[in-house]
Structure 1
Amino acid sequence: MKELFWLIANIFKITFKDKKNYIVYIVLPLVGIIIALVAYGGEKEEKIRIGIIDEERTEITEDTISFLGRLETTHIISIKKSEMEDTIVSGSVDAVLLFEKGFSSSMKEGNPNHIQISSIRGTEITGFIKIYLYNYLDNIAAIAKAAKNEAEYKAIYDNYKKSSFKLVTNGLQDTSKNKKMTYQSIGFLIMIMLFGACNLSEIILKEKERRTYFRLLASPLSSKQYVSANIIVNFIILAAQIILTLLVMTKIFGIDLNIPFIEMLVIMLLFALVTVGLSILIVAFSKSSAAAGALQKLVILPTCLLSGCFWPMELMPEAIQKVSDFLPQKWVLATIMEHQRGEQFGDLYLNYLILFSFALTFFLIAIYKFGRNNNVRNFV
Structure 2
Amino acid sequence: MKEMFWLIKNTLYVTFKKKKNIILFLCLPLLGIFISIVAGQDHNGTNVKVGIVNHDDGQVATDTKGFLLGLDNMKVTSINQSEMKSKLAAGELDCVITIDKGFTQSVYEGKPDYIKISSIKGAEITGFVKSYLYHYINNIAAIGKTAKGDSKAFKKMYQHYQDATFKVDIHKVKDKHQNEMNYLMIGFLLMAMLFSAGSLSEILIKEKENRTYFRLLTTPITAKHYVMSNIIVCMLVVTCQIFFTITMIKHVFHIETGVPFWQMAVVLMLFGLSAIGLSLITVVFANNSKTVGALQNLIFTPTIMISGCYWPVEVMPTFAQKMANFLPQRWVLKTLEQLQEGQQLQHLYLNLLILFAFAVAFFLIVVYRFNHNNNVRNFG
Query: TM-score when scaled to structure 2?
Result: 0.66
Q: Which amino acid aligns with 2:31?
A: V
C-alpha separation in 1, matches of 2:336 and 2:171:
25
Corresponding residue number in structure 2 for 1:220: 220
Q: Which amino acid aligns with 2:253?
A: F
Q: Deviations over 1:123-142 (max 9, x none)?
A: x9xx99xx9xx9999679xx
Would the alpha carbon gap of residues 47 and 335 (structure 1) be closer, same or farther in structure 2, given more than 3 Å must change?
Answer: closer
Equivalent residue runs for 1:227-376 within 5 Å: 227-374=227-374
Asked if residue 7 in structure 1 is aligned to residue 11 in structure 2, the reply is no
Q: Which amino acid aligns with 2:378?
A: N
Where 1:371 maps in the other structure, the secondary structure is: helix
Would the alpha carbon gap of residues 369 and 45 (structure 1) be closer, same or farther in structure 2, given more than 3 Å must change?
Answer: same
Q: Judge conservation of contact 2:28–2:188 (CA < 8 Å) in 1.
A: no
Q: Deviations over 1:173-205 (max 9, x none)?
A: 99xx644x4321001111111111001000000
Q: Deviations over 1:134-175 (max 9, x none)?
A: 9999679xxxxxxxxxxxxxxxxxxxxxxxxx945588999x
Q: Judge conservation of contact 2:224–2:376 (CA < 8 Å) in 1.
A: no
Q: Deviations over 1:258-304 (max 9, x none)?
A: 11111111111111111111111111111111110000000001111
Q: Judge conservation of contact 2:223–2:377 (CA < 8 Å) in 1.
A: no
The alpha carbon displacement at 1:346 in A equals 3.0
The alpha carbon displacement at 1:315 in A equals 1.3
Q: Judge conservation of contact 1:223–1:379 (CA < 8 Å) in 2.
A: no
C-alpha separation in 2, matches of 1:329 and 1:137:
43
The alpha carbon displacement at 1:47 in A equals 7.8
Q: Detail structure 1 runs of 4+ shifted over 2 Å in the superposition.
A: 41-48, 134-140, 166-174, 374-377
Query: Percent identity at matched positions?
Result: 48
Equivalent residue runs for 1:134-283 within 5 Å: 167=167, 178-179=179-180, 181-283=181-283
Q: Deviations over 1:40-94 (max 9, x none)?
A: 144225589xxxxxxxxxxxxxxxxxxxxxxx978xxxxxxxxxxxxxxxxxxxx
Q: Judge conservation of contact 1:194–1:279 (CA < 8 Å) in 2.
A: yes
Corresponding residue number in structure 2 for 1:379: 379
Equivalent residue runs for 1:109-120 within 5 Å: none
Where 1:348 maps in the other structure, the secondary structure is: helix
Corresponding residue number in structure 2 for 1:63: none
Q: Judge conservation of contact 1:278–1:362 (CA < 8 Å) in 2.
A: yes
Q: Which amino acid aligns with 2:272?
A: A
Corresponding residue number in structure 2 for 1:91: none
Where 1:326 maps in the other structure, the secondary structure is: coil
Gaps of 5+ in 1: 49-71, 75-123, 141-165
Query: TM-score when scaled to structure 1?
Result: 0.66
Q: Deviations over 1:216-239 (max 9, x none)?
A: 011000011001100000010011
Gaps of 5+ in 2: 49-70, 74-128, 137-158
Q: Report how many aligned residue pairs link the two structures.
A: 275
Q: Judge conservation of contact 2:277–2:362 (CA < 8 Å) in 1.
A: yes
